[in-house]
Structure 1
């Protein structure tokens, strides 16, 4: 890993281990699990302004879809003109077609840190104590044993599937009549990508995915209302 990336990893490690040490007298063996959930919640709280902006962007994008369709048909043979007209429409509406991705993009550094912290035996020049934490008997640094009946992984898989189902329902509600069949299929199946991702990630990263996707479903439900 490049040296300039070691500093944030070491800082995150010391912060998380301090939190685990603080929680240990109250939560025992689940101190690391609670620390991951708490850190994820803090990150999502910090991203609430971006989520609000993203929700407004989704609504504005839905309102722009008929005009975008007209522009696409009108300038189908002139991609450069189409790009200018779409940019002009976005500028006039004060939104972007990619506004809905802001919260996801902002979470990527935190997800990378979480994956790194629970994938290395040595962090900041010392033995990684975080990977000794466990959930229902499964170490947080272990990867999903796909053909195993380990309770922690089975519970995580079921909960991720439930959250993905609710997320898919919310995504379908946001689609309007201009959505293509491909877009509708993607909205239906894309949320289940978290379940597939968890199969190749440490248990700690899967726990992060569960917490953040559950937060997203609750947040979108509130913002839509």
Structure 2
């Protein structure tokens, strides 16, 4: 723990000429950014879905750091010596203060209370941003499950005329498809099964091969509830020392911004790939 305290103290001394009493608070934010930069390759791998473990590791690796931050600003002594970090502040609030202590030193709108209210406001904005992105992602996944997951249409094979993978009605055999009895990848004309999706009743309305209607509805409901869990950060920030709350809000904001940036890069790459494919098809 002493190494951690020494590092934060060093960063604070470097920032002190500019930020004065709030230098250590800024050092905590800077330290958090350095931790997240070190974990960025894992976060990128998790976003790509490289391995299931990759999504858990960034969270697990931050737990010891958060614990050290909590202990460093909760202990009056470290290694038998006075804890120098407890004397530092963010504006009027000591970094070792909790919200309950701030309320006892001037109430909700006292000098210390206002610092915590500012922290809570930032946490709420980040949580709302995270919740909005979570709902949007859940809606897109549900829509993709319904539309792209395989609503079977009666054509990769047409009933009675069976055109599938180049099969011509009337007799030609192509890619193993026999017109008039059309079988292509297991699809039968007049009762087509394409990639395991069964043709539904009248008009071939289409059954969802990827997600059923019930699964899509469940996905929407879960997608509406899970993002709200990000507001639980507010409760945590109210219970831990102010320094730990700073770490929490910084790493949470980083996570949301990082995921938004990775999604933006992925969408841009897909658009560029689609434009190239379109240009190649036009050239042909």
Give the structure-1-normalised TM-score.
0.74
1:213 aligns with 2:252: yes
**Cα–Cα, structure 1 residues 171 and 132, in superposed 2: closer, same or farther, change >3 Å?**
same
- Residue in 1 aligned with 2:211? none
| Equivalent of residue 102 in structure 1, options 57, 79, 82 | 57
| Structure of greater relative contact order (alpha carbons < 8 Å, 6+ residues apart) | 1
Q: How many residues align?
A: 180
Could you say which residue in structure 2 is the equivalent of 1:29?
21
Equivalent of 1:116 in 71, 74, 77: 71
Superposed, 1:13-92 pairs within 5 Å as: 13-57=5-49
Partner of 1:126: 81
Alignment of 1:151 with 2:114, yes or no, is yes
Q: Which of 194, 203, 212 is 2:233 aligned to?
A: 194
SS of the equivalent of 1:141 reads coil
User: For 2:85 and 2:41, how far apart are their aligned partners in 1?
Assistant: 31
> Displacement, 1:187?
2.0
1:145-186 CA deviation, whole Å, 9 max, x = no partner?
Answer: 366221100000111000000011122233222453552243
C-alpha distance in 2 between matches for 1:99 and 1:183 = 23
RMSD over aligned Cα, in angstroms? 1.7
Per the alignment, do residues 128 and 205 of structure 1 end up closer, same or farther by CA in structure 2, a change over 3 Å counting? same
Question: 1:137 — aligned with what?
Answer: 92
Contact 2:28-2:243 within 8 A present in 1 as well: yes
Distance change >3 Å, CA 103–CA 174, structure 1 → 2: farther
For residues 180 and 187 of structure 1, the distance between their equivalents in structure 2, rounded to whole angstroms, comes to 10
- 8 Å CA contact retained: 1:13, 1:123: no
Contact 1:140 1:203 in 2 (8 A): yes
Task: Name which one, 1 or 2, has greater alpha-carbon Rg.
Answer: 2
TM-score by length of 2: 0.60
| In structure 2, distance between residues paired with 1:173 and 1:182 | 12
Unaligned runs of 5+ in 2: 143-215, 265-284
Distance 2:259 2:10 in 1: 32
- Find the aligned partners of 2:47 and 2:256 in 1 and give their Cα distance: 12
Cα deviation 1:59-104 (Å, max 9, x = unaligned): xxxxxxxxxxxxxxxxxxxxxxxxxxxxxxxxxxx632x5433322
Q: Is the 8 A contact 2:99 2:238 kept in 1?
A: yes
Distance 2:221 2:58 in 1: 24
Q: Paired residue for 2:2, among 10, 23, 37?
A: 10
Moved over 6 A (4+): none
